[in-house]
Amino acid sequence: MDNFFDLVPLVVLIPLAGLLINLFAGRQLGERGVSIVAVGASGMAFVIAVLLWIAQVNTGYKAAVIDMPILADWIVIPSANVTIPWAFRVDSLSVTMMLAVTGVGTLIHLYAVGYMHGDERFPRFFVYMNLFLVFMLILVTGNNFLMMFVGWEGVGLCSYLLIGFWFDKPGGVGWRNSDAARKALIVNRVGDFGLVLGVLITFWTFGTLDYYREGEAPIVPHAAAEEGAPLFAPALPAEEEAHAISGPLGVFNQAELWLEKGGHNVDFGMVSLSFETTLTLITLLFLLGATGKSAQIPLFVWLPDAMAGPTPVSALIHAATMVTAGVYMMVRANVFYHAAEFSSFVVAAIGATTALIAGFIALGQWDIKRVLAYSTISQLGFMVAAVGVGAYAAAIFHLVTHACFKALLFLGSGSVIHGMEHGHHHATHGHAGHADDEFDPQDLRFMGGLKERMPVTYWTYLFGTLAIAGIIPFAGFWSKDEILLDSLKAGVDKGLLSGYVGFVLLLTAAAFTAFYMWRQVSLIFLGKPRHAAAAHAEESSRVMTVPLIILAALSLLIGFINVPSGFPILGWLLGEHQFTSFLEHSVPYAHAGTFSFLLATFAVLLALGAIYLARSVYNDRALAVLREDPLALNTRTQRAFTLANAKLYWDEFYFTYVVYPYRNAAYWLAEQVDWRFLHDYVHERLLRDPFNAATRALTWRVDKQIIDRSFDGLGHAARRAASRLRRIQTGYVHIYAMSVLFGALLVMALILLPLIRDWLGL
């Protein structure tokens, strides 16, 4: 079973093969062939991930580092002693991520077969989707920060390509889509700038980017002491084993050793920082990267716009997997974050604030996918806040459960959109010319009463809603409760301010979650149809509903993998915090959540109360005549609703204070520096004019007056000489004969003269 580890390159290579096949033979294969290749590649990657999980279990959760064939010596600079291999890391964290990415990814691929049916660029869509899987799996399986960065940028590229997939839709929609794609890419540049700086400083500090070297186990020097009694056998607490590794250690163990010893300084040339300060710097820069990719304040603005992409893309990339890359990265770097308390505080503050603000904005949105987008941002805020309060296991647990129920919700919304478009087509068919331009299949105001028309979508959507709202026993309950409790415990037990603040913000955000999700369910499915399209909507095809059902089952059940310790009955039945125990082998600072009956009851009651409130606001009477949101009609909530509807003017704020000033600065620079200074002054005044003067001087003084005149002079002289010499050519033969004679005589004289002189003795 050991050699299952060697299969890990396949997890990347199989989707790569899939995309290459579809890239070169997509047109010939047809929709059916393309679907089989793409879904098959994703499914096989999932099978590999399962085999790797089995290998993990069988080897006692031993981490393995597997070199990629061919690329093993990826970057080697002998003179600088730099070696960055292309190596995969199989440990419990990467296996968890692989399972989530490929598992949810396969279901979404399957769903997309139905959703994208008939699209003119069907093969291209699946090429991009498989490419996304390739990069996402590189991101989570790499054994060093550089591979993670490659994956990180690659998924960003796929995100860009897929958001703008319908760039040529008519009526200006295509422009909006490609604008959204560019916005996502550009906003992510800001975050990636932080990440790449963090990676560079990491390299400068440690001289390597490997997480752990081969055969090296995480050292956990403080964990047991901090937790009180060790709850679990630590993952091979092999300090001496780690020391036995020849050569430099991986970054995390090196960091532990330096932290333990203390007093290590990092020399940055001009300044020298203590190791602790360096870690704070690195973690803050990593956080900037995470705020970009995982859509946190201040860089979350791209995610709502990213909903311009096809709905399976929103589900896979912008809900389940890619946006969780930031959380994965911070959990991977848990050793750093654990040591950097200030950074952790910032992380918690940003996460909790994002959760609350995005949850608030979601209350006032009309677009079915935008609500879910803000919901995603909010849930990502939960995960980030969990990282900030040190609940790394809870963050990954919530990541996994969220991947299931948010993928479910997005796919459900896609199914609703599909049904609405179908109904609209059906309703306008027959009345030619009666095409209402205002119709938008994504607008909640046009829906209503879809419960009867689309029962499967309704029930699965309901499962997703209950899961995200945190109703026991759905998945969201377990993960969200663990985050809430861990955050409260961070406040009470460790006296961390971030714990208290985070707890209050997150609890409020959880109530918002339940409210806006029930608002959405009411507007979509309950009441009576408010538009002909909704009245004629039809349930989606089997290929779309089967993934919905599987995901609904997962949303119900996946929470049971991590039942907190102390939970009555279930804890005894299913084993306590199985998932955390699994994760602990690769995340040294993961710790298991306990269970507080009081808090759990309170959270569930809060969610139920929010649902009840939503139900009473969006009651059947309000739903029947929905022109405006009931919240907007009520004078007490009007202002709040307007704010939420306008997204807190966040985009406008950026436009006023960032984009326009930036653009004006660019205009100013273009006008003053480029045009006035560089063009008018440097180029024209300093370069062109002296050059012209010099060439003019050369032309007149040198070329015309010296060179031309000297050669003209030669010509004139030759002509003058010729006009004189021609006079001796008279044409009279005897004159020529005479000159010949005199010439001959002259020659004779020249010859004879010396003889005569000698004869005369002169």
Partner 1 sequence: MGSSEVAVELYVLLSAVLFIMGAMGVLLRRNAILVFMSVELMLNAANLALVAFARQWASGAGHLMVFFVMTVAAAEVAVGLALIVAIFRTKKSIDIDNLHMFKG
Residues that bind partner 1 (CB under 8 A): 726-734, 737-738, 741
As measured in angstroms, the least distance from the Cβ of 762 to partner 1 is: 25
* Strand pairing category for 87-90 and 64-67: antiparallel
Measured between alpha carbons, how far is 509 from 324 in angstroms, rounded to an integer?
19
Closest to partner 1 by CB, 636 or 726? 726
As measured in angstroms, the least distance from the Cβ of 727 to partner 1 is: 7
Closest to partner 1 by CB, 627 or 732? 732
Closest to partner 1 by CB, 598 or 728? 728
Closest to partner 1 by CB, 598 or 722? 722
As measured in angstroms, the least distance from the Cβ of 712 to partner 1 is: 24
Closest to partner 1 by CB, 430 or 731? 731
Closest to partner 1 by CB, 261 or 734? 734
As measured in angstroms, the least distance from the Cβ of 742 to partner 1 is: 10
Residues in a beta bridge with 142: 88
Closest to partner 1 by CB, 573 or 740? 740
Measured between alpha carbons, how far is 328 from 312 in angstroms, rounded to an integer?
22
Residues in a beta bridge with 88: 66, 142
Are residues 614 and 522 in contact, defined by beta-carbon separation less than 8 angstroms? yes
Question: Of the candidates 143, 418, 190, 188, which has an alpha carbon nearest to the alpha carbon of residue 317?
Answer: 188
Q: Where are the alpha helices (DSSP H) in 493-577?
A: 497-525, 532-535, 542-557, 570-574
As measured in angstroms, the least distance from the Cβ of 735 to partner 1 is: 9
- Angle (CA) 595 352 511, round 5°: 65
As measured in angstroms, the least distance from the Cβ of 726 to partner 1 is: 4
The full 3-state SS of 293-338, as one line of letters, equals HCCCCCCCCHHHHHHHCCHHHHHHHHHHCHHHHHHHHHHHCHHHHH
Residue 394's identity, in one-letter code, is A
As measured in angstroms, the least distance from the Cβ of 724 to partner 1 is: 11
As measured in angstroms, the least distance from the Cβ of 728 to partner 1 is: 8
As measured in angstroms, the least distance from the Cβ of 753 to partner 1 is: 19
As measured in angstroms, the least distance from the Cβ of 741 to partner 1 is: 6
Are residues 535 and 383 in contact, defined by beta-carbon separation less than 8 angstroms? no
As measured in angstroms, the least distance from the Cβ of 723 to partner 1 is: 10
Closest to partner 1 by CB, 3 or 729? 729
Phi, psi of 586 (to 5 degrees): -120, -20
Phi, psi of 88 (to 5 degrees): -95, 150
The secondary structure element, H or E, covering residue 378 is helix 368-388
What are the Cα distances from residue 188, in Å, to 192, 347, 597?
A: 6, 18, 41
Measured between alpha carbons, how far is 481 from 385 in angstroms, rounded to an integer?
13
Phi, psi of 274 (to 5 degrees): -70, 155
As measured in angstroms, the least distance from the Cβ of 736 to partner 1 is: 10
Closest to partner 1 by CB, 574 or 737? 737
Closest to partner 1 by CB, 722 or 762? 722
Closest to partner 1 by CB, 627 or 734? 734
Phi, psi of 437 (to 5 degrees): -70, -20
Question: Of the candidates 467, 550, 317, 400, which has an alpha carbon nearest to the alpha carbon of residue 96?
Answer: 400
The full 3-state SS of 613-673, as one line of letters, equals HHHHHCCHHHHHCCCCCHHHHCCCCHHHHHHHHCHHHHHHHHHHHHHHHHHHHHHHHHHHH
Phi, psi of 303 (to 5 degrees): -65, -45
Closest to partner 1 by CB, 621 or 726? 726
168: tokens are 């040529």
Closest to partner 1 by CB, 246 or 729? 729
As measured in angstroms, the least distance from the Cβ of 731 to partner 1 is: 3
The secondary structure element, H or E, covering residue 261 is helix 251-261
Are residues 326 and 198 in contact, defined by beta-carbon separation less than 8 angstroms? no
Measured between alpha carbons, how far is 202 from 279 in angstroms, rounded to an integer?
8
